[in-house]
Amino acid sequence: MDVIDYEIEEINKIVERVICSSKLIACIRSLIRINIKQTESRQITVCIRFPSNYPSEHLLVELKSPTISGKILDGLTTLAEQKASEFLGKPQTLHTLKFIDNYLQENPLCIAYDEIFAVKQLLRRKNDLGSCGGELKCLQKTSNVSLVVNESDYFFKAKYHVPEEYPTKCIEFLEHKSNFPDALLRFLNGQAKEIARKCVEPPLRANIKSDFVVKPSLLPSLRFLIEAISDFTSELCPVCNFKCLPAKAADVELRDTADLYAERVYCGHIYHLGCLKKYMREPPFPLGGKTCPAKKPHPRSDSNKGTKDSNGTQPIKNRKPNQLTDENICGLRISHDRWALNVKLAEARWAQQQARERELEEVKDFLQ
């Protein structure tokens, strides 16, 4: 019995016991084919062929997978053949199969390789342009990724878990730390979670459910965070046209009743609270409510008008014409939990304020 016959007999007997996640498909002299399935997303088919001078030459390995990136498969193929080369002159098949199985166990983030690569590329482009800085770290042992984004004097740090059921289950948000105002931080985390959820859960409308396809959620969520953070420090208040956030994070107004507190409304724009109060309480009071005077629509609007894309942003081309008929103005109705005023109430308050001011002027004139 030569080495090849010995290995074929051994593989047939013990491979599924030694590698618990494996299933033997074929084991003959011309081909050994084994499926390794650790989870729904970590599954790989290993095809092994014996070269003519085996075992003086290493095994020929071919890897296929419906879920793992081709770049990962190419790299793992090279590593597997290098592993086989360590046993020249000896049986190599079982050692090679064990190596591939261990690699998948020790590198669970391989199922999100393309997304991780895309996020790193996005951060690299942002770094090169000087628009923001950041990095993405992979924590293979825990199947976590750590994101750090820096913009001027502001930072955002967060950790996310990629579950074994990924991508059929969305990423999990573990922790975060930031010096952005709470109103903006709530938007960042809330919208990122919503984007991740929409990747794996079909919409409620029955006519759309049938066309729904589960999508990976890591890249859309992290791309949203990076792009939103890079815009925050440059956004201008639509009323006063000054930056909503101070240059230094230490100067951020934390009191949610202060005039310089940064408040975000549902059209996506950020206002100074004092500017927003002044704008909302002064005429004119159009039917349907006040509209946003920002010079352009916001790419990350919360408005349900139009159709949002997979990143949670609302394409401008899908927006309905605004009341001001100027395409260079946002024009969406200002809506916020703290500003649920109807037109009659707003007019009544304005009239009351004007009456009070006239009374004060009359008192001043009398005293003079």
Which CATH number characterizes residue 66's domain? 3.10.110.10
Flag whether 202 is in a domain. yes
Among residues 76, 106, 136, which one ends one of the domains? Answer: 106
The model's pTM: 0.79
Q: Where are the beta strands (DSSP E) in the chain?
A: 22-28, 31-37, 43-49, 60-64, 133-139, 144-151, 154-161, 172-178, 262-264, 270-272
Q: State how far the Cα of 223 lies from the Cα of 226, in Å rounded to an integer.
A: 5
Q: State how far the Cα of 157 lies from the Cα of 142, in Å rounded to an integer.
A: 18
266 by DSSP, 3-state: which?
Answer: coil
Positions in the chain short of pLDDT 70: 1, 131, 206-210, 303-328, 336-368
Q: What are phi and psi of 363, to 5 degrees?
A: -65, -45
Among residues 83, 106, 129, which one ends one of the domains? Answer: 106
The predicted pLDDT at position 316 comes to: 42
Length in residues, the chain? 368
Do 145 and 228 share a structural domain?
A: yes
Q: State how far the Cα of 102 lies from the Cα of 46, in Å rounded to an integer.
A: 14
The predicted pLDDT at position 212 comes to: 85
Do 356 and 298 share a structural domain?
A: yes
The predicted pLDDT at position 300 comes to: 85
Question: Could you say which DSSP state residue 135 is in?
Answer: E
Mention every residue, 6+ apart, whose C-beta is less than 8 A from residue 308: 314, 315
- pLDDT tens-digit profile of 251-268? 999 898 899 999 988 888
Do 138 and 60 share a structural domain?
A: no
Flag whether 367 is in a domain. no
Do 158 and 75 share a structural domain?
A: no
Do 203 and 350 share a structural domain?
A: yes
Do 82 and 138 share a structural domain?
A: no
Cα angle vertex 120, ends 215, 224, to 5°? 50
Do 179 and 46 share a structural domain?
A: no
Do 141 and 28 share a structural domain?
A: no
Number of domains in the chain: 2
251 by DSSP, 3-state: which?
Answer: helix
Do 224 and 331 share a structural domain?
A: yes
Order of strands across the sheet with 31-37? 22-28, 31-37, 43-49, 60-64
The predicted pLDDT at position 313 comes to: 41
Do 161 and 68 share a structural domain?
A: no
Flag whether 200 is in a domain. yes
Flag whether 88 is in a domain. yes
The predicted pLDDT at position 1 comes to: 61
Q: State how far the Cα of 31 lies from the Cα of 47, in Å rounded to an integer.
A: 7
Among residues 48, 79, 106, which one ends one of the domains? Answer: 106
The predicted pLDDT at position 323 comes to: 42
Nearest to 72 by CA among 21, 110, 108, 41: 110
**Is the bond preceding residue 167 a cis peptide, omega within 30 degrees?**
yes
Flag whether 368 is in a domain. no
Flag whether 366 is in a domain. no
Range of the domain at 233: 112-361
Do 202 and 117 share a structural domain?
A: yes
Do 186 and 157 share a structural domain?
A: yes
